[in-house]
């Protein structure tokens, strides 16, 4: 008696049995229209290829919950306890679905609820669309969710106790649960949260869940701020690897400020290390420059100490070009010291020769006869 319409696959029409609506409330009639319209659009999106089980699952999902909504989970739990659940392969067959609708229908709803609850409404729509191009529902599931149908089915069976315990009440269209994305934000998984919340807020804007939309928009703003902070931290790291110390410090401080605004501290210690290394790099470059200036003034031993210390720091930071420059300066200093040593030796030799000549001249002047006799 609840069936008042039937959406004909691949045909742009819906047949309505008006005589069967007389005993129904307006809410039931509207729900049946939601159900059948969903069949129509699911068929349209999947090019008529969405299987009976998933068709009935999503069609029930879009119905607005009523007082009798809790009946289906109770029936499904009984079938679960009695091990009468159908496999997903069986739900692929219309004959199996309609042979035992009291089990197949609530089971189909639980599968749609699981996939939407765990992976989002937009992803489920992608799955429906994938059926238009994939050879079957199994490949459509894998193409959409990145897992095999068997893996998802096992995950669904693990999910069922939570479903029976109350998650059947969660519905993206009427009672969205933001717990999972809230945990993503709290745990600092900002990029994942941002991606999901973008779809969630878009969906919630089409529903009457005003409070949920406000909460989701707030979470999205936090996720965007956190994702931006993460991008800044990554840019700071890249700048450090590129030996751009000023950029490292600037982006690191910006990232820390953003994270502190979110009261998220997990990455701050890591980013502070970037700042410390960048400041050490800046100091080493200053020290290297000072050593080079001392070298140009031939203050070689002072220059060596400055250049050596700076070079060791730059090498430890992975700044090989500047470390090589420091090594080149040390080599230049060594050559200058060699030249200086040779110069001093030459001067010393000249002084010795000069001194010998001077003494000979002096002796000749004071005693020329002795010099002649000696000669």
Would you write out the chain's pLDDT as a tens digit for each of its 375 residues? 445 555 555 566 677 777 777 778 888 888 888 898 898 899 889 998 999 999 999 999 999 888 767 778 999 999 999 999 999 999 988 898 889 899 999 999 999 999 999 999 999 999 999 999 999 999 999 999 999 999 999 999 999 999 999 999 999 999 999 998 999 999 999 999 999 999 999 999 999 999 999 999 999 999 999 999 999 999 999 999 999 999 999 999 999 999 999 999 999 999 999 999 999 999 999 999 999 898 888 887 888 888 999 999 999 999 999 999 999 988 887 777 666 666 767 787 778 788 878 777 777 777 765 555 555
Distance, in Å, from the CA atom of 292 to the CA atom of 307, rounded to the nearest integer, reads 7
| pLDDT value at residue 1 | 45
Q: What is the pLDDT of residue 9?
A: 55
For residue 61, give every residue at least 6 positions away whose Cβ sits within 8 Å of its Cβ, in sequence order, or none.
38, 109, 112, 113, 116, 171, 173
Q: CA 278, CA 290: separation in Å to the nearest integer?
A: 18
Residues 1-53 pLDDT 10s: 445 555 555 566 677 777 777 778 888 888 888 898 898 899 889 998 999 99
Measured distance between the N- and C-terminal CA atoms of the chain, rounded to whole angstroms:
147
Give the torsion sign (CA, 35, 39, 45, 46).
Answer: positive
What pLDDT is recorded for position 333?
Answer: 76
Q: So what's the pLDDT on residue 195?
A: 93
Alpha-carbon distance 194 to 204, whole Å? Answer: 15
If one counts every other C-beta atom within 10 angstroms of the C-beta of residue 4, the result is 21
pTM over the 0.75 mark: no
Provide the pairing of β-strand 14-16 with 5-7: antiparallel
What was the pLDDT predicted at 302?
Answer: 87
Backbone torsion region of residue 261, taken as left when φ is above 0, otherwise alpha when ψ lies between -120 and 50, otherwise beta:
alpha
HEC string for the chain: CCCCEEECCCCCCEEECHHHCCCCCHHHHHHHHHHHHHHHHHHHHCCCCCCHHHHHHHHHHCCCCCCCCCHHHHHHHHHHHCCCCCCHHHHCCHHHHHHCHHHHHHHHHHHHHHHHHHHCHHHHHHHHHHCCCCCCHHHHHHHHHCCCHHHHHHHHHHHHHHHHCCHHHCECCCECCCHHHHHHHHCCCHHHHHHHHHHHHHHHCCCCCHHHHHHHHHHHHHHHHHHHHHHHHHHHHHHHHCCCHHHHHHHHHHHHHHHHHCCCCCCHHHHHHHHHHHHHHHHHHHHHHHHHHHHHCCCHHHHHHHHHHHHHHHHHCCCHHHHHHHHHHHHHHHHHHHHHHHHHHHHHHHHHHHHHHHHHHHHHHHCHHHHHHHC
Name the residue among 77, 71, 96 with its Cα closest to residue 86.
96
Whether the CB-CB separation of 339 and 323 falls below 8 Å is answered with no
Beta carbons within 8 Å of 269's beta carbon, 6+ residues apart: none
Q: Which pLDDT belongs to residue 6?
A: 59
At residue 353, the pLDDT reads 83
- Compute how many other C-beta atoms are within 10 angstroms of the C-beta atom of residue 335: 10
CA dihedral of 133, 134, 140, 144, whole degrees rounded to 10: -50
């Amino acid at each position: 008696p609840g069936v008042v319409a039937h959406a004909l696959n691949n045909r742009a029409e819906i047949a309505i049995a008006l005589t069967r609506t007389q005993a129904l409330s307006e809410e039931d009639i509207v729900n049946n229209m939601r159900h059948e319209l969903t069949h129509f659009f699911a068929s349209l999106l999947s090019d008529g290829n969405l299987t009976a089980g998933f068709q009935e699952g999503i069609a029930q999902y879009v119905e607005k919950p009523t007082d009798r909504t809790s009946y289906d989970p109770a029936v499904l739990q009984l079938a679960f306890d009695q091990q009468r659940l159908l496999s997903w392969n069986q739900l692929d067959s219309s004959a199996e679905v309609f042979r035992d609708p009291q089990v197949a229908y609530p089971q189909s709803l639980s599968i749609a609820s699981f996939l939407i609850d765990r992976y989002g409404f937009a992803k489920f729509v992608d799955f429906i669309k994938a059926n238009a191009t994939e050879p079957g529902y199994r490949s459509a599931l894998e193409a959409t969710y990145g897992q095999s149908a068997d893996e998802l089915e096992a995950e669904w069976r693990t999910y069922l106790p939570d479903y029976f315990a109350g998650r059947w009440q969660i519905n993206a269209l009427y009672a969205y649960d933001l717990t999972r994305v809230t945990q993503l934000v709290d745990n600092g998984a900002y990029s994942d949260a941002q991606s999901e919340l973008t779809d969630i807020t878009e969906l919630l804007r089409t529903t009457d869940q005003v409070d949920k939309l406000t909460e989701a928009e707030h979470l999205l703003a936090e996720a965007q701020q956190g994702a931006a902070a993460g991008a800044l931290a990554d840019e700071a790291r890249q700048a450090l690897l590129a030996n751009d110390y000023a950029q490292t410090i600037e982006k690191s401080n910006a990232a820390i400020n953003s994270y502190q605004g979110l009261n998220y501290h997990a990455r701050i210690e890591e980013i502070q290390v970037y700042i410390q290394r960048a400041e050490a790099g800046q100091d080493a470059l200053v020290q290297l420059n000072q050593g080079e200036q001392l070298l140009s003034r031939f203050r070689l031993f002072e220059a060596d100490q400055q250049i050596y210390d700076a070079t060791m720091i730059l090498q430890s930071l992975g700044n090989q070009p500047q470390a090589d420059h420091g090594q080149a300066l040390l080599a230049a200093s060594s050559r200058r010291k060699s030249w200086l040593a040779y110069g001093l030796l030459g001067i010393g030799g000249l002084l010795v020769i000069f001194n010998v000549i001077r003494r000979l001249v002096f002796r000749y002047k004071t005693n020329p006869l002795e010099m002649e006799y000696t000669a």
